[in-house]
Copies of this chain bind each other. A is one copy, B any other.
Protein backbone atom coordinates (compact mmCIF):
# COMPACT_ATOMS: atom_id res chain seq x y z
CA UNK A 1 0.00 0.00 0.00
CA UNK A 2 1.37 3.38 -0.99
CA UNK A 3 1.41 6.20 1.56
CA UNK A 4 -1.36 8.79 1.52
CA UNK A 5 -1.56 12.34 2.83
CA UNK A 6 -4.84 13.65 4.24
CA UNK A 7 -5.26 17.29 5.17
CA UNK A 8 -7.56 18.21 8.03
CA UNK A 9 -8.75 21.68 7.01
CA UNK A 10 -9.61 24.06 9.81
CA UNK A 11 -11.65 26.97 8.38
CA UNK A 12 -10.73 29.22 11.26
CA UNK A 13 -7.44 30.79 12.33
CA UNK A 14 -7.19 29.20 15.76
CA UNK A 15 -4.04 27.06 15.53
CA UNK A 16 -4.68 25.28 18.82
CA UNK A 17 -7.87 23.82 17.35
CA UNK A 18 -6.02 22.56 14.28
CA UNK A 19 -3.37 20.99 16.48
CA UNK A 20 -5.98 19.19 18.59
CA UNK A 21 -7.89 17.69 15.67
CA UNK A 22 -4.71 16.68 13.85
CA UNK A 23 -3.42 14.88 16.93
CA UNK A 24 -6.74 13.08 17.40
CA UNK A 25 -6.81 12.18 13.70
CA UNK A 26 -3.36 10.65 13.82
CA UNK A 27 -4.51 8.33 16.58
CA UNK A 28 -7.15 6.73 14.32
CA UNK A 29 -5.45 7.01 10.91
CA UNK A 30 -3.78 4.01 9.31
CA UNK A 31 -0.01 3.63 9.58
CA UNK A 32 0.20 4.40 5.87
CA UNK A 33 -1.64 7.73 6.24
CA UNK A 34 0.08 11.05 6.90
CA UNK A 35 -2.27 13.56 8.51
CA UNK A 36 -1.44 17.23 8.03
CA UNK A 37 -3.36 20.21 9.30
CA UNK A 38 -4.34 23.36 7.50
CA UNK A 39 -4.94 26.67 9.28
CA UNK A 40 -5.68 29.89 7.39
CA UNK A 41 -3.19 32.71 7.90
CA UNK A 42 -5.97 35.30 7.73
CA UNK A 43 -9.63 34.68 8.45
CA UNK A 44 -12.07 34.38 11.33
CA UNK A 45 -11.08 32.97 14.71
CA UNK A 46 -14.22 30.80 14.91
CA UNK A 47 -17.11 29.84 12.64
CA UNK A 48 -20.40 30.63 14.33
CA UNK A 49 -22.40 33.15 12.34
CA UNK A 50 -23.46 32.82 8.73
CA UNK A 51 -21.00 35.62 7.99
CA UNK A 52 -18.25 33.55 9.60
CA UNK A 53 -19.24 30.74 7.25
CA UNK A 54 -18.72 32.99 4.21
CA UNK A 55 -15.15 33.68 5.27
CA UNK A 56 -14.64 30.15 6.51
CA UNK A 57 -15.51 28.91 3.03
CA UNK A 58 -12.94 31.25 1.48
CA UNK A 59 -10.31 29.92 3.87
CA UNK A 60 -11.23 26.31 3.11
CA UNK A 61 -10.80 26.86 -0.62
CA UNK A 62 -7.47 28.57 -0.07
CA UNK A 63 -6.21 25.68 2.08
CA UNK A 64 -7.35 23.13 -0.47
CA UNK A 65 -5.72 25.06 -3.30
CA UNK A 66 -2.48 25.01 -1.31
CA UNK A 67 -2.95 21.31 -0.58
CA UNK A 68 -3.30 20.56 -4.27
CA UNK A 69 0.06 22.25 -4.85
CA UNK A 70 1.57 20.15 -2.07
CA UNK A 71 0.21 16.84 -3.38
CA UNK A 72 -2.40 16.17 -0.70
CA UNK A 73 -4.49 13.08 -1.52
CA UNK A 74 -7.69 13.85 0.35
CA UNK A 75 -9.30 16.37 2.72
CA UNK A 76 -11.52 16.54 5.77
CA UNK A 77 -13.27 19.81 6.56
CA UNK A 78 -13.00 20.20 10.31
CA UNK A 79 -15.99 22.42 10.99
CA UNK A 80 -19.49 21.29 11.85
CA UNK A 81 -21.65 22.62 9.05
CA UNK A 82 -19.13 21.46 6.42
CA UNK A 83 -18.34 25.05 5.43
CA UNK A 84 -16.99 25.29 1.89
CA UNK A 85 -17.38 21.57 1.17
CA UNK A 86 -18.97 21.86 -2.28
CA UNK A 87 -16.35 24.34 -3.51
CA UNK A 88 -13.53 22.26 -2.07
CA UNK A 89 -14.82 19.27 -4.01
CA UNK A 90 -14.51 21.25 -7.22
CA UNK A 91 -10.90 22.20 -6.45
CA UNK A 92 -9.44 18.93 -5.19
CA UNK A 93 -8.39 16.02 -7.38
CA UNK A 94 -8.97 13.60 -4.51
CA UNK A 95 -11.94 13.06 -2.20
CA UNK A 96 -13.17 15.75 0.20
CA UNK A 97 -15.40 14.87 3.14
CA UNK A 98 -17.14 17.13 5.63
CA UNK A 99 -16.89 16.26 9.30
CA UNK A 100 -20.66 16.57 9.71
CA UNK A 101 -21.66 14.22 6.91
CA UNK A 102 -19.00 11.72 7.99
CA UNK A 103 -20.30 11.83 11.55
CA UNK A 104 -23.87 11.23 10.42
CA UNK A 105 -22.81 8.18 8.39
CA UNK A 106 -20.77 6.73 11.27
CA UNK A 107 -23.87 7.20 13.40
CA UNK A 108 -25.36 4.28 11.47
CA UNK A 109 -24.22 2.29 14.50
CA UNK A 110 -27.39 3.60 16.14
CA UNK A 111 -31.02 3.71 15.04
CA UNK A 112 -31.45 7.28 16.27
CA UNK A 113 -28.96 9.87 17.43
CA UNK A 114 -28.54 13.50 18.45
CA UNK A 115 -26.08 16.21 17.50
CA UNK A 116 -24.92 18.31 20.46
CA UNK A 117 -23.59 21.54 18.97
CA UNK A 118 -22.60 25.05 20.08
CA UNK A 119 -23.61 27.85 20.23
CA UNK A 120 -27.42 27.79 19.67
CA UNK A 121 -27.16 30.14 16.65
CA UNK A 122 -25.46 27.36 14.67
CA UNK A 123 -28.38 24.94 14.93
CA UNK A 124 -29.58 25.82 11.44
CA UNK A 125 -26.14 24.99 10.05
CA UNK A 126 -26.45 21.50 11.50
CA UNK A 127 -30.00 21.39 10.17
CA UNK A 128 -28.78 22.20 6.67
CA UNK A 129 -26.33 19.29 6.72
CA UNK A 130 -28.94 16.97 8.20
CA UNK A 131 -31.43 17.87 5.48
CA UNK A 132 -28.88 17.30 2.73
CA UNK A 133 -27.93 13.95 4.25
CA UNK A 134 -31.63 13.09 4.58
CA UNK A 135 -31.38 11.97 8.19
CA UNK A 136 -33.92 14.31 9.82
CA UNK A 137 -36.10 11.30 10.65
CA UNK A 138 -33.41 9.74 12.82
CA UNK A 139 -31.55 12.70 14.33
CA UNK A 140 -32.32 15.65 16.60
CA UNK A 141 -30.16 18.69 17.30
CA UNK A 142 -29.38 20.19 20.70
CA UNK A 143 -27.05 23.04 21.58
CA UNK A 144 -25.15 24.27 24.62
CA UNK A 145 -25.00 28.00 25.13
CA UNK A 146 -21.27 28.57 24.77
CA UNK A 147 -19.24 30.28 22.03
CA UNK A 148 -16.87 28.17 19.95
CA UNK A 149 -14.07 30.20 21.52
CA UNK A 150 -14.81 28.48 24.83
CA UNK A 151 -13.38 25.31 23.30
CA UNK A 152 -10.30 26.89 21.77
CA UNK A 153 -7.91 25.37 24.31
CA UNK A 154 -9.80 22.17 25.07
CA UNK A 155 -13.34 21.42 26.13
CA UNK A 156 -13.11 19.27 29.24
CA UNK A 157 -14.59 22.11 31.28
CA UNK A 158 -17.71 21.85 29.09
CA UNK A 159 -18.31 18.19 29.90
CA UNK A 160 -21.17 18.83 32.32
CA UNK A 161 -23.04 21.09 29.91
CA UNK A 162 -22.62 18.71 26.98
CA UNK A 163 -23.50 15.69 29.09
CA UNK A 164 -26.70 17.39 30.28
CA UNK A 165 -27.88 17.87 26.69
CA UNK A 166 -26.75 14.37 25.74
CA UNK A 167 -28.69 12.83 28.61
CA UNK A 168 -31.78 14.80 27.62
CA UNK A 169 -31.29 13.43 24.10
CA UNK A 170 -31.20 9.85 25.34
CA UNK A 171 -34.24 10.26 27.59
CA UNK A 172 -36.45 12.68 25.62
CA UNK A 173 -35.45 12.24 21.97
CA UNK A 174 -34.85 8.49 21.98
CA UNK A 175 -31.23 8.97 20.90
CA UNK A 176 -28.98 5.91 21.05
CA UNK A 177 -25.73 7.70 20.14
CA UNK A 178 -24.30 11.23 20.38
CA UNK A 179 -22.62 13.20 17.59
CA UNK A 180 -20.24 15.93 18.77
CA UNK A 181 -21.36 19.00 16.86
CA UNK A 182 -18.12 20.99 16.93
CA UNK A 183 -14.52 20.12 16.05
CA UNK A 184 -13.53 21.77 19.30
CA UNK A 185 -15.29 19.14 21.40
CA UNK A 186 -13.14 16.21 20.31
CA UNK A 187 -11.49 15.76 23.71
CA UNK A 188 -14.92 14.96 25.16
CA UNK A 189 -15.08 11.78 23.11
CA UNK A 190 -13.84 9.40 25.78
CA UNK A 191 -15.22 11.13 28.92
CA UNK A 192 -18.67 11.40 27.39
CA UNK A 193 -18.67 7.78 26.28
CA UNK A 194 -17.57 6.69 29.75
CA UNK A 195 -20.34 8.73 31.29
CA UNK A 196 -23.19 7.70 28.99
CA UNK A 197 -22.33 4.24 27.75
CA UNK A 198 -23.46 4.94 24.19
CA UNK A 199 -21.40 5.57 21.04
CA UNK A 200 -20.03 9.11 20.87
CA UNK A 201 -18.93 10.21 17.43
CA UNK A 202 -16.35 12.79 16.39
CA UNK A 203 -16.82 13.86 12.79
CA UNK A 204 -13.18 14.68 12.12
CA UNK A 205 -12.13 11.15 13.00
CA UNK A 206 -15.04 9.76 11.01
CA UNK A 207 -14.00 11.98 8.11
CA UNK A 208 -10.40 10.82 8.17
CA UNK A 209 -11.43 7.16 8.04
CA UNK A 210 -13.98 7.92 5.33
CA UNK A 211 -11.36 9.61 3.16
CA UNK A 212 -9.05 6.64 3.74
CA UNK A 213 -11.82 4.35 2.56
CA UNK A 214 -12.56 6.42 -0.55
CA UNK A 215 -8.84 6.51 -1.39
CA UNK A 216 -8.59 2.74 -0.93
CA UNK A 217 -11.48 2.30 -3.37
CA UNK A 218 -10.03 4.82 -5.79
CA UNK A 219 -13.16 6.97 -5.53
CA UNK A 220 -13.19 10.73 -5.87
CA UNK A 221 -15.69 13.49 -6.55
CA UNK A 222 -17.86 13.08 -9.64
CA UNK A 223 -17.04 15.69 -12.28
CA UNK A 224 -20.23 15.13 -14.26
CA UNK A 225 -22.10 18.31 -13.32
CA UNK A 226 -22.46 19.69 -9.79
CA UNK A 227 -18.77 19.40 -8.93
CA UNK A 228 -17.23 19.81 -12.39
CA UNK A 229 -13.94 21.70 -12.46
CA UNK A 230 -14.83 25.40 -12.16
CA UNK A 231 -14.13 27.79 -15.01
CA UNK A 232 -13.01 30.54 -12.64
CA UNK A 233 -10.67 29.95 -9.72
CA UNK A 234 -11.48 33.08 -7.75
CA UNK A 235 -12.04 36.82 -7.97
CA UNK A 236 -10.43 39.04 -10.55
Contacts and interface: CB of A to CB of B under 8 A. Distances in A.
Nearest to A104: B105
B95 A109 contact: yes
Contacts of A232: 44-46, 49, 51-52
A142 to B, nearest CB: 10
A236 B42 CA distance: 6
A73 interface: no
Contacts of A131: 131-132, 137
A70 interface: no
B89 A225 contact: no
A123 B225 contact: yes
Nearest to A55: B235
Nearest to A202: B217
Nearest to A101: B108
For chain A, give the interface size range: 35 or more
Contacts of A57: 54, 57
B219 A53 contact: no
A214 B51 contact: no
Contact of A222 (B109, B120, B135, B213): B109
A52 B228 CA distance: 12
A18 interface: no
A138 B131 CA distance: 11
Nearest to A128: B132
Interface string A49-66: 111111101110100000
Nearest to A49: B230
Contact of A50 (B30, B45, B90, B174): B90
B49 A222 contact: no
A1 B57 CA distance: 35
A217 B106 contact: yes
Contacts of A87: 49-51, 53-54
28 contacts: A1-B30, A28-B217, A30-B30, A30-B32, A31-B32, A44-B235, A44-B236, A45-B232, A49-B231, A50-B90, A51-B90, A51-B234, A52-B230, A54-B57, A55-B58, A105-B108, A109-B222, A110-B224, A110-B227, A123-B226, A133-B134, A176-B222, A197-B223, A197-B224, A198-B222, A199-B221, A199-B222, A213-B213
